[in-house]
Structure 1
Amino acid sequence: MLFPDLSAPEICSKKIDTSKPAIAFVADRFLALVLDFLIMSPIVSLFLAGLIKKTKTYFLLDGQSPEGFVSGVIVFIVGAVLIMLLQSVFMYFWQATPGQFFMQMRVVSYPHARARLSFSQCLLRSFCFSLNFVALGIPFLEVLSHPLRRAFHERASDTLVITLKKEADDGPFELEERFISSWLRMSFIIFAMVGAVALAKMYYSMHDGSYKSAAVVGGQCKEIADAELHGTARLDAALALFMLNEVSEECLRKEAEASLWGDPVNSQDMAYLAKYLVSDKAEQEEYFKLICKDISSSACVIASYMSEGGDEGVLGNADQKLLVTQVLMMEEKFNAHQYVASLEAIEKLQKVTAMRSAMDKKYVRSIWAMKESLTRKSGRVPASADSATWIEEFKDKYGLQ
């Protein structure tokens, strides 16, 4: 039993009759496209498996995750580049994609005959081929109307798809050509009108300041009224205020999202820490893993401190310049009845505008706790000079006797 040879002989485009080329059938081209998808999609998926898994993780943790959105865009771009490279390599060496090769078709240079396609020609064809999908695949319909069945990506790259079969396509009928051409023109007009309306709407929204107000309201928390704080510094302040119960979970979540969008590289760990603090137990475990990829980071140290119920020794490994670290250390000093050390930390934090109101409350709390402690010790242990100084300053500040 004999099987037909599905492969095709080498093609030299110089031998092609440019006046009457052997045009490939539209049905064969469609089947070739399906075969290419079945062959290339597993290869592309293999390369993208890690990125896709990470993207899914982001969206499982947060359905509106900005990291997930960015990761999804990266997956799309990398996937498109891989497809373009695969197509270009196949066309450069074999003058056809796997599906076209199986269907006995070849891509040749047209109308200027060449011995083989240049790599830049292959790359341009693949790039324009991908652009057709951005336009919802409508440019592909040109194969139904063009006399030589050439779509946009083929005309742009000076290429033509021919068949090696004995019979070739005679091209579209006149009625078919006129119908598809008019339909494409109408589609272009509709897209142009929709685009013009959308552009006008965007312009007026920009002119009215809608984008700016939406960004301020949606991206930042009104409870943090310090215009001088930006990026990671603002997120640090939000974390510190959250530890003091001065801002809500929603406020901290907004600041984390805004920080990730504004500076994803430098603020990622602290943003994950913020999300860790406002998440339930199941999500906290996932965020803890993300935070502690670098166990020496301040975010990991603080997360460990919070999960272990508080240990000042652990907290000492965090960056002492962070406001959230200073707040936690201040609370540790207060709980250990080291009121002078606590007040010294409060005095330093009061210099930050966003922290001033919260620190004023802690200042009063520490002074009263110190006075009560001295009252209980009265007659047994004399008040230290530092304690007396702080109390006198408090009386002078608030006009007390």
Structure 2
Amino acid sequence: MTPAAAGTPVFPAELTAPPTVGVEEEFVLADRHSRAAVHRAPAVVGAARGRLGAPHATAEVSQAQVETVSAVCRTAEDLAAEIVRLRSGAAVAAAEHDCLLVPSGTAVLGRPGPPPIVDKARYRAFARRFGPLAHDQGVNACHVHVGVEDREEAVRAVNHLRGWMPLLLAVTCNSPFSDGTDTGYASWRSMVWGRWPVAGPPPFLHGAAHHERVVGQLVASGAAMDPAMVYWHVRPSPHLPTVEVRVADVLPEPAATTAYALLVRALVGCAVDAVRAGEPAPVVPDLLLRAACWQAARHGTQGTLPATHTPDCVPVSVGRLVDELWKRVEPHLTRYGDDRWVGDWLSDVQREGTGSARQRRIADHHGGRLQAVVDELAVAPG
């Protein structure tokens, strides 16, 4: 697809400051020689913090993972530069400990764990409560935060966003392999993560008070240790004035991450506009949303998905859904000059396929040798 209005000039008087956007990316650490997942996160995270600043690199539950956390950005150029800075610096830190920094939703080779669990009280409690459920949770996502100051608007915006989550997953799949095996899925990460009792599509929320009540009940039930563990695909952030979209695999390239984050920002902007206009959100059944997300994880951009952003949820091709998404977000993208970034990326996904398709092509080109997939994905130290 090509953005019809890409490059259309916008006069300065029409511009307002774009909403803030920030990105969290998770990566697997692979041994430089075997290319299998390796448990060196404590040392790598320490080195990355020294290079990037303490707030911008953190451990995850598995010792084979590193997470980067961007600064708060407003322009596409600033966001793109920040993502490159973080990836490059984290890759240098990994190289110092004989590791590769690999942007794949799952470890292509080896088992990332946990165990071993990163030595934090929260993670130790996490492992005690959920037991073997935690054993394969070294999976890597891309989380996008978009600034929405009003909590009520943020909660109600989630109702307009939840129906788009299957499509966002379909276009960001990047985890076909796990522990040396082709899973047959485009996003095996989302299948592994979906085992959690509070992961997956959010319920329809009737306002901020309803949201707080539901989250409180989930915590009281023991299904989550605290509100931050309510791992819905899209949620009002439990600690920031943002809407957080958590459905995507980590993406293979920084340009793709940038474009995806800008797309999410535009989609959140549309949802907030709909809330302010009093537009009702489609009440899509939770089970249908979950089924659509399964289809997206299984097949990526191939085949059809239920149009869960509409009341009737009729199955249509992913390509048609992308066109409908573009029509919805294009005015927001154009307003801030983001249309070319997102349009080029979506066109590339439709033409070349997702990150999962790329991983499989690399494997096929190298006779099924998955070490080549790791090498192709690994971030070059900057």
Higher strand fraction: Structure 1 or Structure 2? 2
TM-score, normalising length: structure 2:
0.21
TM-score, normalising length: structure 1:
0.20
Q: Which has the larger radius of gyration?
A: 1
